[in-house]
């Protein structure tokens, strides 16, 4: 590249793409078939699916599919408008009633997806110069919501509640303060220290919001989420979660006090200025809420599989980053090595997904495995052996 000459935007963008390729951070879209099943297909090759968020297997469930088809036949293909115009078709009320009964909350609404839910909730709730306190490993949608709100964005070190408290102490008492945390962290698979966070929330008169994207359907007696598992649901002001992971389809929800939901309905821009969900999605959400409560055995089986997978990889000497859930990363290190590791596993027939910066910190490249209730133990055993073999070959384990 010529020195001294100002690049135009086209040259700048192509230089940026070139740089991403050079540091092994360039992403590519790959067509994937059967990702709703334990074995998927990429480029005509069958691979064990240890990469989906379909934790309970509902993405391929006949009952969900049937209720989607019925919804289409009854209510049509599209939503026709935003919910506040004429897009609020009858299935919304049915699905939201099911949601509120399931969560035993005062009120709740369904939002188009988790990303816009987090953007919308945080930016509706906080004003310029308010404060948001966010775990450093929270999901990107929380980070973006904080930025959009123009509140002061204070990120505390992962799980470091002394750090959180020090930051809370410094914030002026008259400012609105929101503490927000994932309950299961999406890249490390560990659990928020929710009990201790509730103590701080009360001590500093803050608002508490949790993101149950990876815990909805999995924790709690009826799959309500991790807050219910700890019986802390009444201490949490805003419970957000999604239908797009364990619940098998698409969309998000938020539950809380009636006035809070009323406020969000009036103030969330992503809710007001975006078309309602198609009826089929609401059909799936409603079916999933009902089914997930009736099938605790899937949750149990998922926990059993997850624990077995974690313990086995740890026994081989892998660093699983403190995982306590169905999300089980193994740390590899540099980008290039992480990519190579993933490539080896794919050659062996495992759909291993490398996760690199900026999604995770520099030099903490990892393979992020997810197990589901619909995997069978022999397949997990087979995968664990292959992972260990590649780990030894590449010097990741001894």
Ligand X SMILES: *Cc1c(COP(=O)(O)O)cnc(C)c1O
Size of the site for ligand X (CB under 6 A): 14
Stretch that binds ligand X, among 23-31, 89-97, 155-163, 209-217 (CB under 6 A): 209-217
**Residue from 57, 108, 114, 283 in contact with ligand X (CB under 6 A):** 114
211 binds ligand X (CB under 6 A): yes
According to the binding rule CB under 6 A, does residue 323 interact with ligand X? no
Catalytic (active site) residue 186: yes
Closer CB to ligand X, residue 189 or residue 391?
A: 189
Q: With residue 383 as reference, give the H or E element that holds it.
A: helix 377-393
Region of 61-69, 102-110, 208-216, 271-279 interacting with ligand X (CB under 6 A): 208-216
Is 343:327 a contact under the CB 8 Å cutoff? no
The full DSSP string for 250-296 is: --EEEEE-HHHHHHHHHH-HHHHTSBPPPHHHHHHHHHHHHHHHH-H
Q: Between 134 and 153, how does the x/- string for binding to ligand X read (CB under 6 A)? A: -----x-x------------
CA separation, residue 71 to residues 57, 275, 280, 283 (Å): 21, 17, 5, 6
Q: By rule CB under 6 A, what string of x and - marks binding of each residue 179-198 to ligand X?
A: ---x---x------------
> Phi and psi dihedrals of 229, rounded to 5?
-55, -40
From 65, 89, 139, 214, the catalytic residue:
214
CA distances from 174 to 177, 204, 294 (A): 9, 11, 45
Contact between 370 and ligand X by CB under 6 A: the answer reads: no
Can you tell me which of 89, 214, 368, 375 binds ligand X, judged by CB under 6 A?
214
Packing angle, helices 279-294 and 62-75, rounded to 10: 150
- Is the distance from CB of 118 to CB of 142 less than 8 angstroms? yes
Nearer to ligand X, 349 or 357 (CB): 357
User: How near is the Cβ of 182 to ligand X at its closest, in Å?
Assistant: 5
Q: Is 299 in the site for ligand X (CB under 6 A)?
A: no
Alpha carbon of 83 to those of 65, 91, 124, 270, 378: distances in Å?
24, 12, 17, 11, 47
Q: CB within 8 A of 170, min separation 6: which ones?
A: none
Q: Active site includes 325?
A: no
Active site residue 386: no
Binding site for ligand X (CB under 6 A): 113-115, 118, 139, 141, 182, 186, 211, 213-214, 242, 244, 252
Name the residues annotated as catalytic.
186, 214, 245
């Amino acid at each position: 590249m010529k020195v001294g000459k100002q690049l135009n935007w086209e040259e700048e963008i192509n230089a940026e793409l070139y740089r991403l390729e050079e540091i092994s951070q360039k992403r590519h879209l790959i067509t994937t078939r059967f990702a709703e099943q334990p074995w998927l297909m990429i480029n005509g090759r069958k691979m064990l699916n240890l990469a989906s968020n379909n934790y309970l297997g509902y993405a391929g469930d006949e009952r969900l599919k049937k209720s989607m088809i019925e919804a289409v036949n009854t209510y049509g293909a599209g939503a026709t408008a935003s919910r506040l115009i004429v897009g609020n078709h009858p299935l919304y009320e049915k699905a939201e009633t099911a949601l509120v009964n399931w969560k035993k909350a005062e009120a709740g609404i369904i939002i188009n997806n988790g990303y816009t839910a987090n953007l919308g909730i945080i930016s509706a709730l906080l004003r310029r110069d308010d404060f948001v306190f966010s775990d450093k490993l929270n999901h990107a949608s929380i980070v973006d919501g904080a930025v959009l709100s123009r509140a002061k964005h204070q990120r505390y070190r992962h799980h470091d509640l002394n750090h959180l408290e020090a930051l809370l102490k410094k914030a002026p008492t008259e400012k609105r303060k929101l503490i927000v945390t994932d309950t299961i962290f999406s890249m490390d698979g560990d659990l928020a220290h929710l009990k201790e966070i509730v103590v701080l929330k009360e001590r500093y008169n803050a608002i508490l919001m949790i993101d149950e994207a990876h815990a909805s359907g999995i924790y709690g007696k009826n799959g309500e989420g991790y807050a219910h598992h700890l019986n802390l649901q009444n201490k949490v002001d805003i419970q957000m979660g999604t239908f797009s992971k364990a619940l098998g389809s698409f969309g998000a929800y938020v539950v809380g006090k009636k006035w809070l939901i009323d406020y969000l309905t009036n103030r969330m821009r992503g809710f007001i200025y975006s078309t309602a969900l198609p009826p089929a999605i609401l059909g799936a959400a409603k079916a999933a809420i009902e089914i997930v409560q009736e099938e605790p055995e899937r949750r149990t089986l998922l926990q059993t599989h997850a624990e077995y997978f974690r313990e086995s990889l740890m026994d081989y000497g892998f660093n699983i980053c403190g995982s306590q859930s169905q999300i089980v990363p193994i740390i590899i290190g540099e980008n290039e090595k992480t990519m190579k590791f993933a490539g080896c596993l794919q050659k062996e027939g495992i759909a291993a997904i490398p996760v690199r910066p900026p999604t995770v910190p520099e030099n903490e490249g990892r393979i992020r495995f997810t197990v589901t209730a619909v995997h069978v133990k022999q397949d997990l055993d087979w995968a664990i052996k292959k992972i260990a073999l590649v780990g030894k070959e590449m010097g990741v384990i001894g």
